[in-house]
Amino acid sequence: MAAEQTTTANSRLSRQLGGTEQTWCKAVPGGTGITVSALLFSNPPDFSVITDAVGKLQTAHPILSSQIRHDPATGLFSYVTPATPHLKIQSFDSPSTAEILRQLPNPNSSVSDFHLIVEHELNRNDWRSPNPESHVDSDVFFAGVYALPGDKLAVALRLHTSACDSATAWTLCMELRALLGEEEGIIQRELECETKIAPAMEDCIPEEKLRKPFWARGIDMFGYSMNSLRMSNLNFEDTESPRASNFVTLHMNKEDTHQILNGCKARGIKLSGLLSAAAMMSAYSSKGLLDYQQEKYAVVTLINCRSILDPVLSSNRAGFYHSGILNTHDIRGGEELWELAGRAYTAFADAKNNNKHFTDLADLNFLMSKAIENPGLTPSSSLRTSLISIFEETPVDDHGPCGYGVEDYVVCSSAHGVGPNIAIFNTIRGGELDCICLYPSPLYSRKRMLELIDGMKRILVEAK
């Protein structure tokens, strides 16, 4: 039962957050769960055009207008909707953007200005260290516009992950691009669908899929806890300095991508299984271990649950509706990519068929909360909970550039608080595999992660 809460005269309570959303409210202040959708325009629209388009997105998705309220008495969070929602969008002219870029660490000069701006947004934490006694409501949605050299413009949407999973972030990115292009009339009609904040995921899970005997829950909790002590990570480089989220990219051309996808189809596995296997093999080989020295790696595969909820939610319904399945794999070196990929995907598929993404949801949320509260329970207080996180489904973008020339875009979330060694945001753009590989810095350096991703790419190309 939802706890009673009072609302101010200028806001109304929409609903109390569900269990997963509550966990994200604990994670975001520490740096995990800041979601960014950013686009780079080579033929920039006027600021007023951008403001209008972003405003349409906020109007179309009511959760973007909401605020998060913390109740000190219960420790719980709720969404409240202001009577007059407002849009927080900041504009940075060329000198202001140049000053931001100047202050960002960039030991690798090949990193683009747009890349650095996205990292800057990932680490802008408006939800950092909230005062537990504070009654100030926090917005879930911010936007920034940056003037970049060469008359280019970056538009970044930054959201609290409790209100925006990866699917929502992808939807917002595509909708903003469409609103600023020739599809505006079409997308505007599609946007007129949401009238209120959708219910929490836990309230939409079919009851029969949530049932789990008490003894089974205890055994699984014990198993997760014990396994966490045996899991291997990438070797840490700096465990003391303040952390931030950075990313590198994994890109493959059309020919290589086509052959990889055909290989997955022929073997009945999804791309997520293949990428997980390549990441584990690259991580193992990077350590210079003795032959057949065993490592245990954890992989979290994230599932978009909208289509399997009751009621079913549309694919573009804004909110957080992902659940994860954690599998562990013993790696000894000498594995063959396709064999390991098949093993990894089968383990995931079997767990999904047994509804582990629903029955274990509360357990994984509890363990995540405990790691946040007690970093010392993780190796070197690193807050690393798995080697990899990856999405089961890979979004496909076959659209051409919009009227204002979208030169690039990035969709990802921060993970320098609690999270994996590598968070892989896998997409296919124009027939080419394009992944954002996010990592906590300086726990790992950009040089170290580039080496790891180069190893992944080499493994994928050689085995296609």
Q: What percent of the chain has pLDDT over 70?
A: 88
pLDDT above 50 (res 308): yes
Residue tagged 């029955």 (tokens): 359
Enter the DSSP assignment of 19.
H
Top pLDDT among 180 and 76 is at: 76
pLDDT, position 288? 87
Please compute the mean of the pLDDT values over residues 222-242 and round it to a whole number. Answer: 78
Q: Which amino acid, 459?
A: I
Run of H or E including 180:
none
d(CA 271, CA 279): 12
Predicted pLDDT of residue 5: 36
Taking the C-alpha atoms of residue 190 and residue 187, their distance in angstroms, rounded to an integer, is 5
Classify residue 16 by burial, with Cβ atoms within 10 Å: 0-12, 13-18, 19+. buried
**Per-residue pLDDT tens digits for 126-162:** 998 655 455 578 999 999 999 999 999 999 999 999 9
- Provide the residue count of the chain: 464
Q: Summarize the confidence of residues 6-10 as an average pLDDT.
A: 44
Residues with Cβ within 8 Å of 37's Cβ and at least 6 positions away in sequence, in order, are: 156, 157, 159, 169, 170, 172, 173, 176, 409, 410, 411
Asked whether this chain's domains 11-191 and 201-463 adopt the same fold, the reply is: yes
292 — pLDDT class (breaks 50, 70, 90): confident
The residue type of 405 is: G
Cβ(324)–Cβ(388) below 8 Å: no
Burial of residue 1 (number of CB atoms within 10 Å: 0-12, 13-18, 19+): exposed
Q: pLDDT over 90 for what percent of the chain?
A: 71
* Distance from chain centroid for Cα 187: 24
Q: Residue 276 burial (CB < 10 Å; 0-12/13-18/19+)?
A: buried
Rounded-to-integer distance, Cα 160 and Cα 148, Å: 25
Q: Which segments of 62-193 are extended strands (E)?
A: 67-71, 76-82, 89-92, 138-139, 141-148, 152-160
Residue 212, pLDDT above cutoff 80: no
CA 373 to the chain's CA centroid: 21
What CATH number was assigned to the domain covering residues 201-463?
3.30.559.30
CB of 300 within 8 A of CB of 389?
yes
For the chain, give every domain's residue range. 11-191, 201-463
- The band of 3, judged by pLDDT with boundaries at 50, 70 and 90, is very low
CB atoms closer than 10 angstroms to residue 8:
12
Residue 217 tokens read as 């829950």
Mean pLDDT of 49-73: 92
Q: Indicate the pLDDT class of residue 38, thresholds 50, 70 and 90.
A: very high
> Strands, E, within 367-449: which ranges?
384-391, 396-397, 406-415, 419-429, 432-441
> Encoding tokens for residue 408?
């690039």
Q: Please give the distance of CA 31 from its chain centroid, rounded to a whole number.
A: 12
Mean pLDDT of 205-221: 64
Tell me the per-residue pLDDT of 108-117, one tens digit each, with 9 for 90 and over: 667 999 999 9
Task: List, for residues 349-398, the tens digit of each pLDDT value.
Answer: 999 999 999 999 988 898 899 999 999 888 999 999 999 999 999 999 98
CA separation for the pair 288, 299 (Å, rounded):
21
Residue type for position 444: Y
Tokens standing for residue 10: 């200028």
What pairs with residue 36 in β-bridges? 158, 412
What is the model's pLDDT at position 357?
A: 94
Residues 416-461 pLDDT 10s: 999 999 999 999 999 999 999 999 999 999 999 999 999 999 999 9
Q: How far apart are CA 386 and CA 378, in angstroms?
A: 10
CATH topology of domain 11-191: Chloramphenicol Acetyltransferase (3.30.559)
Per-residue pLDDT, averaged over 272-276, amounts to: 98
Task: For residue 27, give Cα distances in angstroms to 22, 30, 193, 282, 372.
Answer: 9, 6, 30, 29, 7
H helix or E strand, kind and range, residue 40:
strand 32-41
